Amino acid sequence: MRVSMTVNGKAVSGEVEPRTLLVEFLRQHLGLTGTHVGCDTSQCGCCVVHVDGASAKACTLLAVQVDGSTVTTIEGLAQGGKLHPLQQAFHEHHGLQCGFCTPGMIMSAADLLQRNPDPTEHEVREWLEGNLCRCTGYHNIVKAILAAAQSMRGMAKAAE
Amino acid sequence: MTEKGIGARVPRKEDLRFITGRGRYTDDINQPGQAYAVFVRSPYAHARIVRIDKSSALAMPGVLAVLDGQDVAADGLGNLVCGWLVKSKDGSPMKMGKHPLLAQEKVRYVGDRVAVVIADTYAQAKDAAEALAVEYEELPAVVELAQAHDAPALVHDEVPHNLCYDWELGDKAAVEAAFAKAHHVTRMELVNNRLVPNAMEPRAAIGHYDSGQDAYTLYLTSQNPHVHRLVMSAFIGIAPEHKLRVVAPDVGGGFGSKIFIYGEECVVLWASKKIGGRPVKWTAERSESFLSDAHGRDHVTTAELALDREGNFLALRVNTKANLGGYMSTFSSCIPTYLYATLLAGQYKTPAIYCDVQAYYTNTAPVDAYRGAGRPEASFLIETLVDQAAIEMRMDPAEIRRKNFIPKTAFPYQTPVALVYDTGDYEACLDEALRLVDYAGFPARRAESERRGKLRGIGISCYIEACGIAPSAVVGSLGAGVGLWESAKVRFTHTGKVQVLTGTHTHGQGHETTFSQLVADKLGVAYEDVEVIHGDTEKTPVGMGTYGSRSLAVGGEAIVKACDKIIAKGKKIAAHLLEASEADIEFKDGKFTVAGTDKSKTIGEVVFAAYVPHNYPAGLEPGMEEGAFFDPPNFTFPAGSYVCEVEVDPQTGVVDIARFVAVDDFGNVVNPLIVEGQVHGGLAQGIGQALLEGARYDESGQLLTGSYMDYCMPRADDVPSFEVVTARGTPAAANSLGVKGCGEAGAIGAPAAVINAIRNAIGVRVEMPATPERVWRAIQSSPLAKAAE
């Protein structure tokens, strides 16, 4: 079956089996290996991408389901060679260790911050329910997301 | 220069590739012509393999090969081995049951490897694996550790009572004598729950046989690529060591589970040759990880503490039954012995200790090192037992600990269980932790919780661990089959840039940053000019890898030694260039100076002279590249005090961690940002063990907790923000950096703090994991609940 979609701003298409998952299409057909697979029950969140602007687990979607959609992966988050504030904050606050859950964490957090630009620590922790990390104990991930939220609010204000 | 040197909170240089999705993990690598492997695993805990009919699977589209245990035997491949020989009380060696790469005759746990299917695509391999016809004759399974001794079945026919070894440590007679005159004995039965490591990246491997070179390459998820190469060559016999390149690229967490040599990685390498040299790739599904990664912990223990009238500890007596699973794993014998019983002194001057350990086979996944490995089990035992003793003796739990601490003036301190602690100040850590948590203010906080209908409790845990593994002669005398030194190479380029090659492996620990800080500091070069290279047996010197919090304490010290050699050679060159005596040259901040003068050469100038030796000392080799090996004279002994405050909802049994204070003595700290991160992660794993995690098999040996829907991993809203202090270090004596190791502390110290806090809240002790159901049931049986009725 033929699928076409926009991935990180580029029109792409490919031949897939009906059972091909979006995450397989991204990793194997497009070589976008930043989206990871950490489980087989859609619990870990390592594969979170944005589909038409909202976060989604790329292991729960078939490639054919997103035919015609717009997909953003971790590789497409930095704009014009400049890191996204979340990427910057994860770096500054040591919000990653082995890095395996990181793309999913950042993509998930990016969706949170577009829905809720000023979350409490509690709201961040609740939002991250669908993303597992085994390295950081979440402490610095939460810290990084709160710091990114603050810096994004500052940027939004400056732009007004 | 020094703003990024030792002690600086430098954000990590490895981050950039990970935050932009450009990390390179094993499954991200694809090779031309690659085929795919899928393993067929046993659905039974214990069964005889009657017949494997490959014909239907071989007839499936795209299938290149179906290989089973008979093919492994026909090719004369060796068995997986346990590399540490433990002897029983009677001097007899442990009974190592055969562990073939693919099962032969019998399967011994659900998930045991029966066959592998290789096909052109992953989907084809998976379809064919499902079509493979395997006939089993099911046997009774040995599942419960407590019943293994008298079970009706034998996991390995040649091992009576399923008993691998019956080992002891300590002076039994002295302990008996102390118990005989004790004022009080505190006795406790404990279960240390079985855990699944769950690094977020599942295991993966790509094996490739190159017939043109008659050489092999294996990409895999490993914490110690050289150890993989050694075992696959020397014991499995797949390839001669010099013809085998093992690469561990970016690795997504390990926690011990990626130390071990498993069958799957060996099989894909061997299979590549069997199918004519196409690369063969295998990536575990998470379900496979649950079934087949080595699990951790799983002890059943009886512990007794003898005390005098004043609450001084007189003696400790421990009996532990340890679960090995269906086979011995790479280091499984030493975890419940030398990494466990040797730590039973804890932070205390208990004069007599005796421990015996019976290790049993069961029809469950193999059990081996998982973050802490033996030390969490020891620490949990001591710290819950001491708490119980405080309650029985009507003493404050902080006070009973203080009374029995090894005083800071007593170091170096010989414990009754073999170890010599080098440095420490246990009281300082406890004082600081109690100050931070406001111990004195706890009754007021408890009263406030009570007004909201909640039960508040506080729990202390003062852990110790042995890190910097390990002095080779010591571990050799105890049965280790390898040396545990570490290696490094420091190489300057013409232009003054530095490549550091290390035998350790980073899979989250941030070595690229920490080692760069170290070298920048030692050699006075810019942090940005240092590149750390690891994980490839063809690039780096032979190394033993990363586990046991050893990378900085052992591997870092090897780097220091290599830097020292660079400086020594640089002095000769500088003396020549400056026309001075070598003895008069001083090196500081990247400059070689003639003492007492302003005549100097930068290290860059000296390095350039070494590579362009037009004006150069006679007889001195050109170039600037030095290697070093470091074998530590002793372990290091990180220690600390953790205090946990919980609030329990008596209606539901839900435990909320209100506060968690961790004060650790890691000796000197190179990068506090990274060290704190290591503590945070360890604490979450420790809290996971205490509250959430537990691998469970049913009576037939089926793993009930085989996915993230059934095995409860700590999530972001299960843990609090932590209060972590790492600045109270007493420098370690075993290395010049004075560093102790920080990777495992959190997982070692946290469980007892949480469980003690719950008991303090509800009045009874709850086994781990203290799930809401267990806590609720405990509350119903608690004297507090009875009093309320």
- Domains annotated for chain A, with CATH where assigned, are 2-76 (3.10.20.30), 85-159 (1.10.150.120)
Q: Which helix (H) or strand (E) holds B282?
A: strand B280-283
Query: pLDDT for A14-62, tens place per residue?
Result: 999 999 999 999 999 999 999 999 999 999 999 999 999 999 999 999 9
> Which positions 42-71 of A are in contact with B (Cβ < 8 Å)?
43-44, 46
Handedness of CA B64, B70, B71, B72 (dihedral sign): positive
Nearest chain A alpha carbon to B201: A38
CB contact under 8 A, B20 and A136: no
Q: In this complex, do B18 and A99 lie within 8 Å of one another by their Cβ atoms?
A: yes
pLDDT given at position B783: 73
**Closest residue in A to B250 (Cα–Cα):** A98
Q: Which of A38, A83, A106 sits opposite B286 (nearest CB)?
A: A38
Asked if A98 and B123 come within 8 Å (Cβ–Cβ), the reply is no
Residue A137: closest CA among chain B residues belongs to which residue?
Answer: B681
- Which positions in chain B touch A16 (Cβ < 8 Å)? none
pLDDT at residue B1 in the model: 43
Task: Give me the pLDDT at residue B786, please.
Answer: 59
Which residue out of A43, A79, A91, A134 would a mutagenesis test of the B interface target, given it has the greatest number of B Cβ atoms within 10 Å? Answer: A134
Instruction: Say which of A27, A121, A138 has its CB closest to residue B684.
Output: A138
A72 touches chain B (CB under 8 A): no
Chain B residue with minimal CA distance to A101?
A: B200
Establish if A90 touches chain B: CB-CB under 8 angstroms.
yes
B507/A90 Cβ within 8 A: no
Chain centroid offset of residue B133 CA:
38
Test B22 with A124 for CB contact under 8 angstroms: no
State whether A98 and B507 contact (CB < 8 Å): yes
User: Which among A33, A129, A134 has CB closest to B717?
Assistant: A129
Please state, rounded to an integer, the average pLDDT across all residues of chain B.
97
Q: Check CB contact under 8 Å for B508 and A36.
A: no
Measure CB to CB from residue A138 to each of B28, B253, B716 and give the nearest one. Answer: B716
Nearest to B340 by CA among B307, B312, B379: B379
* pLDDT for residue B713 is more than 80: yes
The distance of Cα A112 from the centroid of its chain, to the nearest Å, equals 10
Q: Is the pLDDT of residue B549 over 70?
A: yes
Question: What is the C-alpha to C-alpha distance for residues B273 and B64, in angstroms, rounded to an integer?
Answer: 12
- Residue the block writes with tokens 């029109």: A11
The answer to whether the CB atoms of A137 and B714 lie below 8 A apart is: yes
Instruction: Tell me the per-residue pLDDT of B714-738, one tens digit each, with 9 for 90 and over.
Output: 999 999 999 999 976 899 999 999 9
Q: For residues B155 and B99, is the Cβ–Cβ distance under 8 A?
A: no
- Helix/strand/coil (H, E, C) string of B294-351? CEECCEEEEEEEEECCCCCEEEEEEEEEEEEECCCCCCCCCCCCCCCHHHCCCCECCC
Query: Which residue of B19, B30, B200 is in closest CB contact with A91?
Result: B19
Instruction: Output the six-digit token pair for A54.
Output: 């909202």
A79 touches chain B (CB under 8 A): no
Does residue A160 belong to the interface with chain B, where contact is any CB pair within 8 Å? Answer: no
A124, A142 Cβ separation under 8 angstroms: yes
Which residues of chain A make contact with B675, given a CB cutoff of 8 A? Answer: none
CA distance B224 to B544: 6
CA distance B121 to chain A (A): 12
The answer to whether B199 contacts A132, with C-beta atoms less than 8 Å apart, is: no
Chain B, nearest residue to A92 by Cα? B11
Q: Which residue on chain A is closest to B283 by alpha carbon? A: A37
Contact residues on chain B for A129, CB-CB shorter than 8 A = 715-717
Q: Tell me whether residues B28 and A32 touch, CB distance under 8 A.
A: no
Can you give the pLDDT at residue B782? 78
CB-based contact A87 B673, cutoff 8 Å: no
From the list A38, A27, A49, the residue with the least C-alpha distance to B30 is A27
Q: What pLDDT, on a 0 to 100 scale, did the predictor assign at position B272?
A: 98
The whole-angstrom separation of Cα B295 and Cα B705 is 12
Taking the C-alpha atoms of residue B338 and residue B466, their distance in angstroms, rounded to an integer, is: 10
Write the DSSP assignment of B564-600 as a string of letters: HHHHHHHHHHHHHHHTS-GGGEEEETTEEEETTSS-E
Residue of A40, A83, A126 with shortest CB distance to B717: A126
pLDDT digits (tens, 9 = 90+) for B71-110: 999 999 999 999 999 999 999 999 999 999 999 999 999 9
Interchain contact A25–B (C-beta under 8 A): no
Q: Which candidate, B366, B192, B370, B360, places its Cα nearest to that of B291? A: B366
Measured between CA atoms, how close is B649 to chain A, in angstroms?
Answer: 19
pLDDT value for B277? 98
Distance CA B764, CA B648 (A): 13
pLDDT at B724: 98
Task: Give the distance from residue A156's alpha carbon to the nearest chain B alpha carbon, in angstroms.
Answer: 23
What residue ranges define each of the domains in chain B, with the CATH number in brackets?
A: 2-16+485-630 (3.30.365.10), 31-139+200-253+258-292 (3.90.1170.50), 299-469+634-788 (3.30.365.10)
Decide if A41 and B286 are in contact by the 8 Å CB cutoff: yes
- Which residues of chain A have a CB within 8 Å of the CB of B130? none
> Mutating which of A91, A94, A123, A129 best tests the B interface, going by the most B Cβ atoms within 10 A?
A94
Shortest distance between the Cα of B728 and any Cα of chain A, in A, equals 21
Q: Which chain B residue lies closest to A45 (C-alpha atoms)?
A: B200
d(CA B542, CA B483): 12
Distance, in Å, from the CA atom of B107 to the CA atom of B694, rounded to the nearest integer, reads 24
Section A147-160 average pLDDT: 94
Beta-carbon contacts of residue B28 (< 8 Å; ≥ 6 apart): A27, A33, B250
Question: Would you say residue B406 has pLDDT above 50?
Answer: yes
What stretch of H or E contains B679? helix B672-687
Spell out which residues of chain A touch residue B255, defining contact as CB-CB under 8 Å. 134
For position A160, what pLDDT does the model report?
Answer: 84
